[in-house]
Structure 1
Amino acid sequence: MRKILIPTDFSENALNAIHYALELFKYEISVFYFMHAYQDDIYINEALLTRETLSRATKIVSDQSKKQLEDLIKDIRKQHPNPRFTYRMVSSNNVLVDEADKIVENENIDIIVMGTKGKSNHKKLTFGSHTLQVLKYVECPVLAIPSNYKYIQPKHAVFPTNYLIPYKRRELKLVCEMLAPFRTKIDVIYVSKSKKLSMRQEDNKSFIEETLCKNETNFITVNRKRITEAINSYISDNGVDMLIMVNTRHSHLENILFQSPIDEISLNIGIPFLALQNIERRH
């Protein structure tokens, strides 16, 4: 059974990500956890709050959160009737990243699906602040859906890697099972001036090949210096509709997320983006 966590702020971007997830996992028996963490909404006008009004504001925001989640699930049941799906709602007086982390741990979540941005929808940013926090700090694969990206079956995914890290079977298995029903072609690209791999790289490459066995997988070396330029060019030149990267120490994605100021991230993502977190969790 697939366990999917979907944080929502009830924005158009969040709703768009929900519809994408419901289509992507329609062939799997799945439990969807729709989560609204509303602590920020309570303190939005902190200067006006007193102890007395804080209690009242908390009750109002809490009731509204539960009602919006109930309405959301009611609408989803109408629009996406699927006997394979079970829905659970989580309304929490917490900040999003902490609540997501808690649910991932307690429920052994397989994947988080969310919009690349929420209500703010800042045009210059690749990721909104909440999505960036989840990508950086929550130990779970994250599938981020860009604003206004309309669902199409993923037919061509690209997976840039340097083959330097040992992959986690659970996460590659997730990729395989998620994309196998759509017969998605996966291009694993190695950005380097040299085609020669070390013994460790060869072993990690073989592990990918074995674990993604249900999918057509191509291994390609791209002769470029700049990683992000190579990825962006490959996506635009090859009609790619999903980008997969691993977020761990010494990976391409770590360099992009952690070493760039938030507003200067140079990876220009206009397609669904799956970040594998490559961490040890229960199997």
Structure 2
Amino acid sequence: MKKILIPIDFSENAINAVNYALALFKDEFCKFYILHAYQEDIYLSTVPITREVIKEVIRAVGKDSQLQLKNTLKQIKKLSHNSKHVFKIISANNILVDEADRVVEEKNIDLIVMGTRGKTNNKKLTFGSHTLQVLKYVKCPVLVIPESYTYKEPDHILFATDYSIPYQQRELELLGEIASDNNSIVDLLYISEGNHLSLRQERNQSFIKENLRNTKVHFKITKDKNISNEIYRYIKDYETDLLVMINRRHSFLENILFQDNVDKIGLSINIPFLALQNMRRN
């Protein structure tokens, strides 16, 4: 059974991410963990926080979190009557990135699904602060869904990679399952100034080919010094439904995510985005 963690702040963006996950895995047996981490809400309380009232504020915020989770679960079950899906709600007095990391390890989560932005929904930002922290620091594949994105089967998947390091089989299997379940075409796009792969890159490419053997895969090489521009062009020209990238040390994606302002570099996409963390897990 696939285990999927969905952090939620009860915003429309969060519910939209839930809907996408339910549709994407409609044919799979899945256990969905719906998580609300409410520690930040404690200090947003209108009641002045003092030692005398802190316990009561924590209790009240925690109670409200549980209530909203239960109401959200009722809403989700009305939207989906899929017998292959089971749900568990988690309410935690913690910050989201730490609680997500804890749940990922404790429950052996396969995938995190969340909106690109939460209830603050600053349209000037590509990723909200919580999404950005999860992308940066939680050792698990993360699928982010743009605001108001209407589910569409991922017929065409773009996997932008440089083949520079070995991939994790578990994560490639996840991608392979998504692609095979939707009869997707996967384009492996290598953006480089040269036309040839090194022996190491060829081995890594072969590893992908083996793990995606049940998938239609096209291997392509393109030249462009501006990687983001090439990705945007490809998404537009080939009507791409899902972008996949690796978040590893010294990767293009890591360089973007760890900038003070992601949007100065330019990673503004309007399709779902799957970041494979490519880190070893048990």
For the aligned pair, the TM-score class normalised by the smaller chain equals: over 0.9
Letter in 1 for 2:272: P
Q: Could you tell me which residue of structure 1 aligns to residue 169 of structure 2?
A: 169
1:101 and 1:52 mapped to 2: Cα distance? 31
Conservation of the 8 A alpha-carbon contact between 1:39 and 1:94: yes
Amino acid of the structure 1 residue aligned with 2:193: K
C-alpha deviation, 1:191, in angstroms: 0.6
How far off is 1:46 after superposition? Answer: 8.2
- Counterpart-to-counterpart distance in 2, 1:257 and 1:237: 25
Tell me which residue corresponds to 2:201. Answer: 201
- 2:23 corresponds in structure 1 to 23
Map of 2:156 onto structure 1: 156
What letter corresponds to residue 210 of structure 1 in structure 2? E
> Structure 1, unaligned stretches of length 5 or more?
none
**Equivalent position amino acid for 2:255 in 1:** N
What is the CA–CA distance in structure 2 between the aligned matches of 1:277 and 1:23, rounded to whole Å? 23
- Structure 2: which 5+ runs fail to align? none
In structure 1, the partner of 2:90 is 90
> What SS does structure 2 have at the residue aligned with 1:48?
coil
CA distance in 2, matches of 1:199, 1:259: 32
Superposed, which structure 2 residues align to 1:63-82 within 5 Å? 63-82=63-82
Distance in 2 between residues matched to 1:45 and 1:20, nearest whole Å: 31
2:267 aligned residue: 267
Structure 1 Cα separation of the partners of residues 75 and 20 of structure 2: 15
Whether the aligned pair in 2 keeps the contact of 1:126 and 1:265 (CA below 8 Å) is: no
Give, in whole Å, the separation in 2 of the partners of 1:246 and 1:223.
19
| 1:111-165 superposed Cα distances (whole Å, 9 cap, x missing partner) | 0000000011111111000000000000000000000101011100100111101
Over the residues paired in the alignment, what is the CA RMSD in angstroms? 1.2
Answer yes or no: is the 8 Å Cα contact 1:161–1:251 preserved in 2.
Answer: no
CA drift at 1:265: 3.8
Moved more, 43-52 or 156-165: 43-52
TM-score, normalised via structure 1 length: 0.97
Q: Is the CA contact (8 Å cut-off) linking 1:173 and 1:211 kept in structure 2? A: yes
* 1:87-126 pair list within 5 angstroms: 87-126=87-126
- What TM-score, normalized to structure 2? 0.97
SS of the counterpart of 2:123?
coil
